[in-house]
Amino acid sequence: GTPDPVVPGASGDLAVYCTPGPGVVLTATGGVSYSWAPAAGLSATTGSPVTATPASATTYTVTVTNAAGAAGAYRIAMVGVV
């Protein structure tokens, strides 16, 4: 059959990271596994949530995979640095 569509949820969009600081928490939902890119500045590249502490403004993408194995990539957050 047709796999279930991936319905992601995301928070942290257009966040600003004040350096030095605790970072910006990026959260994805709606799947069973999550893969983040680019790895630079991230506390982890898999799972959710992750913490971003980038050296420069970075747009992160998360690939969400659901229980049926369907995957979709979503631009989740542009983290600016001040």
Q: What is the pLDDT of residues 23-56, one digit of tens each?
A: 888 888 888 999 999 999 999 999 999 998 888 8
**Structural contact between residues 63 and 72, judged by C-beta atoms closer than 8 angstroms:** yes
User: How much is the pLDDT for 36?
Assistant: 94
What are the φ and ψ backbone dihedral angles of 7, each rounded to 5 degrees?
Answer: -120, 95
* pTM check: above 0.85: no
For residue 4, name the pLDDT band (cuts at 50, 70, 90): low
Mean pLDDT of all residues in 5-23: 61
- Please name the amino acid found at residue 53: T
State percent of the chain over pLDDT 70: 79
* Burial class of residue 65 in the structure, from the number of CB atoms within 10 Å of its CB (0-12 exposed, 13-18 middle, 19+ buried): middle
In angstroms, the CA 53 to CA 38 distance is: 12
